[in-house]
Structure 1
Amino acid sequence: MTAADVHATEAQRATPRSFQSGPARVLFYVQHLLGIGHIARASRLADALSKAGFAVTVVTGGAPVDGFPGPGVDHIALPPVKASDVGFKGLFKMDGTPADDRFKADRRDLLLGIFDRLQPDVLITEAFPFGRRQMLFELLPLMEAALARKPKPLVVASLRDILQERPKPARDRETVDFTERFYDEILVHGDPSFARLEETFPFAAEVADKVRYTGLVAPPKPTPSEERYEVVVSAGGGAVGRDVIEAALKASHITPRKGPWAIITGPNLPQADFDRVSAQAPADVNVFRFRRDFGSLLASAALSVSQAGYNTAGDILRAGCRAVLIPFTTGGETEQGERAARLERLGLARVLKQENLSPQVLSVMIQDALTMAPHAAPELDLDGARNTATLLSERLAQRAGH
C-alpha cells in the first residue's frame, strides 16, 4: 500500500456522520447534451467515489449511453433532453420536439423529489455553474433546496481543466455569483502545471478560495491488447466526429500501412454513415462503433488519431502512444484547440487544425507522426478520480470534526 493509499484510507474512515446511518451519500448530477465526454468523466469519478466507500447516485438527463455510469453506482435517469446542434441552442426531447415548459417543470419536480428522498451529504453538479445554463430551470431550484436544507450538504462543482471561452462576460459574472451563493468547493479536474482555471475563466481570482485541483481524471494504466493495430482512429461519441472518420477512411486508401488500422466511430454516428464507412473500408481496416478496451488498444498501437476531448486525451496520456489530434472547433468551440496546443507544446502530440483537414494532409501527418519517438510518461497527475474521493472524504471529515 502506497502513502497515497494510506492517506485515502484514513480519510475514508473519517467520512461524515461516523457511518452511524450508513456511508456518506452523494448525489451527482450530470447533463450531457451532445457527446459522451461529460458522462464518461462523471462515471469515472462516481466509480472512484463508490470504491472509496461513498453511496453514489448519478442522476443523468441526457440520452442513454451504454455502459455509463457503470456498475456499482445507482443511476436515476430523468426524461432525457438533447441540444439541437453544436451551438447548444435550445433543448429538445428525444423525438425532436422542443422541451416545453410543462416538460421542464416535470423534470424539475422529479429532480427535487430525488434530492428530498436521498438527503445527500454531498451534492455534485457536473459543469454547472460554469456551464449548462440551459438547465437553470431545474438547477436553480435544486441549489435553493440544498441551501435551505439543515444540515446543508457539501455542494461541489465538478469541472474540467479547460473551459470554453464565453463571448458574454456577464455569464462569467453570473457564474461567480452562483459560486459564492451556493458552492463550497470547485474541483478542477486537471493538473495546474498543464492548465489553470484563471487561464480560461477571467474571474477565477474571485473564487480561488474554493478551487481544488484534483489531477486529470484518466483511466488506470491499461494492459496492452493482444489485438494490435498500427493506427487507431477514434471520434469520441461520434456526434461531431464525422469529418475525422471520413478523412481517416479516405486516408487509409492512400497511406502505406505496416499493419491493420481500427476506426472507432462512436455510438452517436448515424447508422447510415456507420454502414457506409464499414462497406468502404479496406480489408485490413476494421470499423467499430465502440470499444470498451479503447485504452488497451491505444497501449498496443503505434499511433492514435482523434479529436482532442478531455477523456480521449487522458486515454492517450495513460497509454503513452503517439498522437495526431484534430481538435473540434466548429461553432466557436475553443476548449479542444487549447488542449491540443498544450499537448503539442509538451511534445506529446501533433496537431492538425480542423479547417486544414483533408485525406491527403492527414495521410502525410500520420506518416510523419509514426516517425516520432514514443513519448515518456508525462509528468502530469492522472489520478484525478481517486484524488477527488480523497479530497471529498477529507472535507467531510473536517465538517464532522467541527
Structure 2
Amino acid sequence: MLRHNQNIPCPMESQRVFIYVQHLMGSGHAHRAAAISRALVAQGADVCFVSGGFPIPGLNPGTLIQQLPPARAADLSYKSLEAENGAPVDETWRTRRCAQLLKLYQVFRPHGVLLETFPFGRRLMRFELLPLLDAVGRSQPRPLRASSIRDILERWRTPGRNEEIAGLAKRHLDLVLVHGDGNLTPFEDSFPGAGALKACVRYTGYVVDEPEGMLESDAGSGEILVSSGGGKVGEALLAAALAARPLAQKATGTWRLLAGHELPASAFQRLQRDAPEGVTVERNRSDFSVLLRNCAVSVSQAGYHAVAESLTARASSVLVPFADGGRRERSTRAEIFAARGWVSVLPP
C-alpha cells in the first residue's frame, strides 16, 4: 500500500525542478519534500531545494539546500511568524526574503515548480508565494506548476476561504499532488472545494523514506519506540510515556523516546533527567525507519511521516493524535487507519 513516491510525475534527465518548502511547527513537510527531491535527483533532474524553515539536522534532499532567512509559526494559532531571534517578522524582513526567493527562481530558470502545501495552507507565506507564482506565470516558456499536499488537510472554518483557495489553485497551478490514497483519504473529504480542481488532482501514494545501506542494522531491536515528531509540541507525549513505563508489561525492556530538534532544550533536559534506567531519551535520528522496522511497538502522535513510515515498516503502531488548537488532521488519520485495523488509537 505504501511505497516510495513512485507515481509522482518526474521530469526526464536535464530537467530543472524548483522545490519550495516551509515547515512552520513540525518537520514532516520538509522530510516529505526532501524525499521527493532525492527521487527527482536520482532520475537525473537538477533540483533547487529552497527551505524557509529553521534548519533540520540530517535533512537530505540529495542536493544543496538553499536556505532562506528562517521563520516558524509563533504559536499553535498559526497567525504570526517569528524569525531566527524569536522576534516577530516585520515588513522589511518580508521584503528582503521575498526578493531572495525571486532571485533564486530567476537564476535557476526551472522547467517545473513544486510548492509545499500552498495555497491549501501556508497562508502566512502569501507575501512571497503570490509574487513567486506571478513570476512563474510570466515566464516564457512557463514552467509546470504543482502543489504538494499531504493526505489530509486541516479544514478551514473561515467563510469563503475554500473558494478563495480553489480560485488561487485554478489560476496558478497545473497539478495538485495529493500524497495519499484516494480510496483511503479522498481529497474532497478534507477540502470542500476539491470539485473545482478535479482535472488537476493526482494521487501519488504515500511518500516514505527508504534509506539504502541501513536496513540490515539491528538498531532498536525489540524496543518500545516513542516518537514525538520534529516539532516543539512533543513533551506531553514523552512525559506520559515515562509515567506509563512502570505500569507496562514490557517495563523491563528498553524504551527509546525520540524528541524533535525544535523541542526546547529545557524540556529535553527535563525528560532526560526523569528517565529511569532502561529508557533512552534522545533527539530524532536519521535512521528512524530502521528503528521502526526493528521495534516491538511504535508510539507516535499520528503525523503523516510517522504513520506512513511505521506502516511501511510493518511496525505495531499505537497512535496518540496531537489535537491541540482544535486541529483534526491527525485524529482523522488515526480514525481512518484504525478502522482498517492497521493501528491502535489512544485519546490524546
TM-score by length of 1: 0.81
Separation in 1, partners of 2:222, 2:89: 43
Q: Which residue of 1 is the match for residue 243 of structure 2? A: 250
Which of 233, 239, 243 in structure 2 is aligned with 1:240?
233
Confirm whether residue 194 of structure 1 aligns to residue 184 of structure 2. yes
Counterparts in 2 of 1:180 and 1:49: CA distance versus 1, 3 Å: same
Closer, same or farther: CA 263–335 of 1 in aligned 2, 3 Å? same
1:299 corresponds in structure 2 to 293
User: Following TM superposition, by how much is the alpha carbon of 1:285 offset from its aligned partner in structure 2, in angstroms?
Assistant: 1.1
**What amino acid is the match of 1:166?**
W
Displacement after TM superposition at 1:163 (Å): 0.4
| Alignment-mate amino acid for residue 122 of structure 1 | G
Percent of aligned pairs with the same residue?
39
Which runs of structure 2 are paired with 1:78-117 in the superposition (5 Å)?
78-117=68-107
Q: What secondary structure does 1:125 align onto?
A: strand
Q: Which one of 19, 23, 46 corresponds to residue 37 of structure 2?
A: 46
Does 2:19 match 1:25? no
Superposed CA offset, 1:199-242 (max 9, x none): 11101111000001100001238736423233101101141111
Alignment of 1:61-80 (within 5 A): 61-68=52-59, 70=60, 72-80=62-70
SS of equivalent to 1:104 = helix
What is the distance in 2 between the residues matched to 1:64 and 1:173? Answer: 34
Q: Is 1:208 aligned with 2:198? A: yes
Q: 2: distance between equivalents of 1:261 and 1:255?
A: 11
Say which of 302, 307, 315 aligns to 1:313. 307
CA contact (8 A) 2:71 2:81 kept: yes
Task: Look up the SS of the partner of 1:38 in the other structure.
Answer: helix
Offset at residue 321 of structure 1 (A): 1.2
Partner secondary structure for residue 96 of structure 1? coil
Larger relative contact order (Cα-Cα within 8 Å, sequence gap ≥ 6): 1
Aligned residue type for 2:218: E
Supply the distance in 2 between the matched residues of 1:292 and 1:220 (Cα, whole angstroms).
Answer: 11
Q: Which runs of 4+ in 1 moved over 6 A?
A: none
Contact 2:49 / 2:61 at 8 angstroms: preserved in 1?
Answer: no
Farther-moved stretch of structure 1 (23-32 vs 279-288) = 279-288
Separation in 2, partners of 1:202, 1:169: 12
Task: Tell me the residue number matched to 1:397.
Answer: none
Once the two structures are overlaid, the 10-residue window that deviates more, 250-259 or 278-287, is: 250-259
> Which of 224, 229, 251 is 1:231 aligned to?
224
**Equivalent pair of 2:259/2:282 in contact (CA under 8 Å):** yes
Shift of 1:252: 1.4
Counting only pairs closer than 5 Å after superposition, residues 112-127 of structure 1 correspond to structure 2 as: 112-127=102-117
Q: May I ask how many residue pairs the two structures share in their alignment?
A: 340
Partner of 2:339: 345
One-letter amino acid of the counterpart of residue 26, structure 1? V
Alignment gaps of 5+ in structure 2: none
Distance apart, 1:71 and its partner CA = 5.6
Tell me, what secondary structure is at the counterpart of 2:215?
A: coil
Look up the match of 1:160. 150
Q: More helix per residue: 1 or 2?
A: 1
Query: Contact (CA 8 Å) 1:220, 1:318: kept in 2 or not?
Result: no
Q: SS at the partner of 1:203?
A: helix
CA distance in 2, matches of 1:164, 1:88: 12
- CA–CA distance in 1 between the matches of 2:231 and 2:128? 28
Aligned to 2:170: 180
Aligned with residue 136 of structure 1, among 126, 130, 141:
126
* Per-residue CA distance 1:340-373 (angstroms, 9 max, x = gap): 001100111111121xxxxxxxxxxxxxxxxxxx
**Alignment TM-score, normalising by the size of structure 2:** 0.93
CA distance in 2, matches of 1:71, 1:135: 22
Using the alignment, how far apart are the partners of 2:34 and 2:21 within structure 1? 9
* Whole-angstrom CA distance in 1 between matches of 2:183 and 2:132: 34
Give the deviation of 1:140 after TM superposition. Answer: 0.6
Alignment counterpart, residue 322 of structure 2, candidates 323, 328, 334: 328
Contact 1:224 1:299 in 2 (8 A): no
**Contact in 2 for aligned 1:229/1:261 (Cα 8 Å):** no
Q: Residues of 1 paired with 2:255 and 2:86: CA distance?
A: 36
State the match for 1:36 in structure 2: 27
* CA deviation profile, 1:13-59 (whole Å, cap 9, x unmatched): x83xxx6xxx1111101011111111011111111111011101111
Counterpart of 2:43, as a letter, is A
What's the secondary structure of 1:278's corresponding residue? Answer: helix
**Cα gap change, 1:42 to 1:220, in 2 (>3 Å):** same
